[in-house]
C-alpha cells in the first residue's frame, strides 16, 4: 500500500536518491530543499503525480511547518520523515568563527529538531517513522571538522531522545551513519583539495570494501527503516560504512 513520505535535502545526494527510490516503489513523496531549480529539474525528470515539491530551509521553522502542511493538504497524511539536509564546514575551534558554528548547527542540528517537531503531530496519527541522516562522525571524529562533528553527535542524541519520548505512541526514530558517500558535496571537497586524486584514493581505501558508497545504497537502507519491515527497530544508529568503523586503525594488512 502506498505511503506518504516527507524527504528533505531532496535536491541532491542521498536525499535525492531517497526520493527516486520511494517514487519508484509507488509512494507519495514531498521533496523539500532550498534549491528550487534542482527540485524543478527533479520533478520534470520523474514526472510523477505522486511527487510534491516544497521549497524551503530546514533551519526556518515556518518552512518546516509549511512542508508538513503542504504534504497533508495533498496526500492527507505523513507516514515518515527522511531527514537528509546538511552542510559540511571545516575548521578547529580556533578556526571556526561563531557565525560559521551557528550556520552548521542551524542546518544540521536545529533543522533536524524543527523538522521532527513539525512532523510529529502527523506521525502520531499514522504511527510513523523518522530516519535521520547521521554520519560515522556521529560516533567518531575527523580532525579539523569541529562544528560538523558536534552537529552529527547532537543529531544522534536527538534521535535517541525522540525514539524514547515517542515509542509508546508507536513512532519509530532511527539514524543512519554512512561512511564516505559519492555525493556532490563530497565531490566538491575532493575537487577543491590540493591533491584530488590522492584524496579520492584515500577515501576509497579507508573503507575495507575499498570504495566509497553510492547514494542509492544508503537510500535503500532509509526506505527499509521507514517501512513496516523495520517495525521493531527504534532508537538505533545503523552504520552503512563499508566496514570503516570495524577496522582497527593502523592494524597490519594480511593478504
Q: How confident is the model at residue 89 (pLDDT cuts 50, 70, 90)?
A: very high
CA atoms within 13 A on the CB side of 181: 26
From CA 180, how far away is CA 192, in angstroms rounded?
16
Percentage of the chain beyond pLDDT 90 is 85
CATH of the domain at 118: 3.40.50.720
Dihedral of the CA atoms 138, 128, 24, 72 (nearest 10)?
Answer: -110
Question: Is the predicted pLDDT of residue 21 greater than 90, yes or no?
Answer: yes
11 touches 31 (CB < 8 A): yes
Average pLDDT rounded to a whole number, residues 209-232: 97
14 touches 218 (CB < 8 A): yes
Question: Is the predicted pLDDT of residue 251 greater than 80, yes or no?
Answer: no
From CA 2, how far away is CA 240, in angstroms rounded?
26
Structural domain boundaries enclosing 75 = 4-179+214-240
Average pLDDT rounded to a whole number, residues 25-39: 98
Is 113 an annotated catalytic residue? no
- The reported pLDDT for the residue numbered 54 is 98
Backbone angles phi, psi at 13, to 5 degrees: 60, -140
* Domain count of the fold of the chain: 1
Question: Is the predicted pLDDT of residue 248 greater than 90, yes or no?
Answer: no
From CA 135, how far away is CA 65, in angstroms rounded?
26
Q: DSSP 3-state assignment of 13?
A: helix
Q: Is residue 205 part of a domain?
A: no
From CA 158, how far away is CA 156, in angstroms rounded?
5
- The reported pLDDT for the residue numbered 254 is 59
Average pLDDT rounded to a whole number, residues 89-100: 95
Average pLDDT rounded to a whole number, residues 105-119: 98
Q: Would you give the distance in Å from CA 191 to the centre of its chain?
A: 22
Catalytic residue among 5, 90, 113, 148: 148
- The reported pLDDT for the residue numbered 255 is 54
Q: Is residue 186 part of a domain?
A: no
Average pLDDT, the chain: 95
Q: Is residue 254 part of a domain?
A: no
Q: Is residue 246 part of a domain?
A: no
Q: How confident is the model at residue 250 (pLDDT cuts 50, 70, 90)?
A: confident
Average pLDDT rounded to a whole number, residues 71-95: 96
Q: Is residue 24 part of a domain?
A: yes
Q: How confident is the model at residue 42 (pLDDT cuts 50, 70, 90)?
A: very high
Question: Is the predicted pLDDT of residue 249 greater than 80, yes or no?
Answer: no
- The reported pLDDT for the residue numbered 148 is 95
| Locus of grid cell 524514547 | 164
Amino acid at each position: 500500500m502506498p505511503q506518504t513520505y516527507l524527504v528533505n535535502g531532496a535536491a541532491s545526494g542521498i536525499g535525492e536518491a531517497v526520493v527516486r527510490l520511494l517514487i519508484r516503489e509507488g509512494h507519495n513523496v514531498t521533496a523539500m530543499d532550498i534549491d528550487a531549480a534542482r527540485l524543478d529539474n527533479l520533478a520534470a525528470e520523474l514526472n510523477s503525480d505522486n511527487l510534491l515539491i516544497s521549497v524551503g530551509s530546514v533551519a526556518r521553522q515556518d518552512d518546516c511547518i509549511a512542508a508538513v502542511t503542504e504534504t497533508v493538504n495533498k496526500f492527507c497524511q505523513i507516514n515518515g520523515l527522511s531527514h537528509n539536509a546538511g552542510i559540511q564546514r571545516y575548521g578547529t575551534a580556533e578556526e571556526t568563527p561563531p557565525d560559521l558554528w551557528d550556520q552548521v548547527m542551524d542546518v544540521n542540528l536545529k533543522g533536524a529538531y524543527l523538522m521532527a517537531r513539525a512532523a510529529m503531530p502527523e506521525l502520531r496519527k499514522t504511527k510513523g517513522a523518522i530516519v535521520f541522516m547521521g554520519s560515522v562522525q556521529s560516533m567518531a571524529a575527523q580532525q579539523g571538522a569541529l562544528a560538523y562533528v558536534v552537529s552529527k553527535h547532537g543529531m544522534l542524541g536527538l534521535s535517541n531522545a525522540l525514539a524514547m519520548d515517542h515509542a509508546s505512541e508507536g513512532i519509530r526514530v532511527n539514524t543512519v551513519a554512512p561512511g564516505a558517500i559519492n555525493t556532490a558535496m563530497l565531490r566538491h571537497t575532493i575537487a577543491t583539495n590540493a591533491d584530488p586524486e590522492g584524496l579520492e584514493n584515500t577515501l576509497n581505501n579507508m573503507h575495507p570494501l575499498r570504495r566509497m558508497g553510492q547514494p542509492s545504497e544508503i537510500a535503500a537502507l532509509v526506505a527499509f527503516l521507514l517501512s513496516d519491515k523495520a517495525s521493531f527497530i527504534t532508537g538505533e544508529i545503523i552504520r552503512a560504512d563499508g566496514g570503516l568503523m570495524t577496522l582497527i586503525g593502523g592494524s597490519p594488512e594480511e593478504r
